[in-house]
Chains A and B, each alone.
Chain A
Amino acid sequence: MEFYRSAVGKKWVMAVTGIALLGFVLAHMIGNLKVYLGEGQLDSYAHFLRELLYPLLPKTVTLWLMRTGLVIAFLLHIHAAASLTLLNRRANTAYQGPRDLAVASYASRTMRWSGVIVAVFLLWHLADLTWGVTPMAPEGWTAGAVEANLAASLSRGGVAVLYIVANLLLGIHIYHGAWSLFQSLGLAHPSYNRWRRRFAQAFSAVIVIGNVSIPIAVWTGWVG
């Protein structure tokens, strides 16, 4: 706890929870790509998630354990980000003249914005496809009919655009986060430093391409 009170400790927690969230985002994308494997594949994948480790554990227990872990990771990530932002606001005094940043990337400068927008989108996305809450969810939303719900939701033009924009922002967030986490955890060495940036580039590219392909596929009639 005393470790978390420090800013360096909070950044360490942001990196560790960031890794957990990256793992989720990757697994979520791979699972969603089952939509390309043919009719019924996505539904049976959703069914498989509910029965994970059954009969070792009762149905949906593993899923709920993972969900709990994710919620904790999200809350810690957001709490650390918010309190560090407040610390930085107090520490910083604005320049009155022009400011010419040398190397800070668009991604690194917009982490707070991309993070907040992705978090709001996430709630929208849950209401749309997990909870089936109107007006986010499409008409005729049915629990368990994952593929039909997905196709119905994304065939709405505005919603498809929203998913594409949100995933681009997620990619921008990951582009800085997946590099930054190495620094926060203290993983730096001349022998592998250049791979940290490449890892972040590749990771964000894979996530954006995989996720954005789905609304486009629904739109063009490939899927659904």
Chain B
Amino acid sequence: MNITLRAWRQAGPSDEGGFETYQVSDVSSDMSFLEMLDVLNERLTVEGLEPIAFDSDCREGICGACGVMINGRAHGPQAATATCQLHMRSFRDGDTITVEPWRATAFQVIRDLVVDRSAFDRIIEAGGFITVATGSAPEANLTPVPKETAETAFDAAACIGCGACVAACPNSAAQLFTAAKASHLNLLPQGGAERYARTERMVDTMERFFGSCTNHGECEAACPKQISIDFIAMMNRDYVKAKLTNRGSA
């Protein structure tokens, strides 16, 4: 395959940046999107040019490091797929592909396609953990967890924190990320103890960085883990309860 790639190039956070066009020839349809970028970068390096910076790590869709806007879609055209799992067979020979970094005020571009997602870390620090005394493990069967609850919690826990939800949202809202990270703890007995305090702190921190949900549903459609916006509703309900009933509330 031969591909025309329009890639966003930006030397640093304060650089204005712009699109550069590259011809990438002899692309195998079995390559992943990132492998296609690797091939281009090798050539750029040989030519003495600066390679295109992008994030990647596991390359099997579980780490959440990769993620770019491909032809206006977060992680590209295929549903339930991270950029690293997207194969070039999703495109046609001769296609022009536009690739751009995630855009949100909280996601500052560091270089080319790499953005700073540390606002997500601030949300996790606010409540994305459980407070337990460490020591010997308790008897597992003393804490029953219904199967359906465990399954739902696991659906939320599938979040890899890639940021596609924010990137796809016209409001740059981080509701789906925050809801997933709160719910996978809130639904289970160990995390349930701090359910309302956690939700309150995580939502308040989220709103320092991100926009407000208008229920477009773009996040759910972009999520490589297909996390449902039901979790957003759950978080909204918990937040109201926290504000009205939580005695530990600020």
Contact = CB atoms under 8 A, between A and B. Distances in A.
A17 to B, nearest CB: 15
Nearest to A12: B240
B209 interface: yes
B232 A93 contact: no
B172 A88 contact: yes
Given A7-B207, A91-B209, A93-B172, A108 B98 contact: no
B100 interface: yes
Given A97-B69, A97-B72, A92 B211 contact: yes
15 contacts: A2-B243, A3-B240, A8-B236, A91-B106, A91-B173, A92-B105, A93-B104, A96-B17, A97-B6, A98-B71, A101-B216, A105-B216, A185-B237, A186-B240, A187-B233
- Interface SS majority for chain B: mixed
A179 B215 contact: yes
Interface stretch (A21-29, A33-41, A69-77, A188-196): A188-196
Given A3-B240, A87-B207, A92-B172, 19 more contacts: A2-B243, A7-B213, A8-B236, A12-B240, A88-B211, A90-B211, A92-B103, A93-B107, A93-B172, A95-B103, A96-B100, A100-B72, A103-B217, A109-B170, A109-B216, A111-B214, A183-B233, A187-B237, A189-B230
Interface of A: 2-3, 6-12, 84, 87-88, 90-105, 108-109, 111, 176, 179-180, 182-190, 193
Contacts of B105: 90-93
> Which 4 interchain pairs have the tightest Cβ spacing?
A186-B237, A188-B233, A91-B211, A100-B72
Interface in B95-142: 98, 100, 103-107
Nearest to B18: A96
A7 B243 CA distance: 13
Contacts of A184: 213, 215, 236
A12 B17 CA distance: 39
A93 B10 CA distance: 15
A179 to B, nearest CB: 7
Contacts of A182: 233
B106 to A, nearest CB: 7
Contacts of B172: 88, 91-93
B221 A103 contact: yes
A184 B221 CA distance: 19
Contact of A92 (B8, B19, B69, B170): B170
B222 A102 contact: yes
Contacts of B215: 108, 176, 179-180, 183-184
Contact of B217 (A12, A93, A104): A104
B212 interface: yes
B46 interface: no
Interface in B1-34: 6, 8, 17-19
B239 A6 contact: yes
B98 A98 contact: yes
B100 A11 contact: no
Nearest to B199: A8
A92 B103 CA distance: 7
Contact of A6 (B69, B73, B207): B207
A94 B71 CA distance: 14
A180 B6 CA distance: 37
A185 B238 CA distance: 10
Given A95-B103, A183-B233, A6 B211 contact: no
Interface in B201-246: 203-204, 207, 209-218, 220-222, 229-230, 232-240, 243-244
B212 A87 contact: yes
B30 to A, nearest CB: 25
A184 B229 CA distance: 11
A177 B59 CA distance: 40
B85 interface: no
Contact of B218 (A84, A101, A187): A101
Contacts of A179: 215
Interface string B151-194: 00000000000000000101111000000000000000000000
A10 B212 contact: yes
A101 B244 contact: no
A159 B225 CA distance: 51
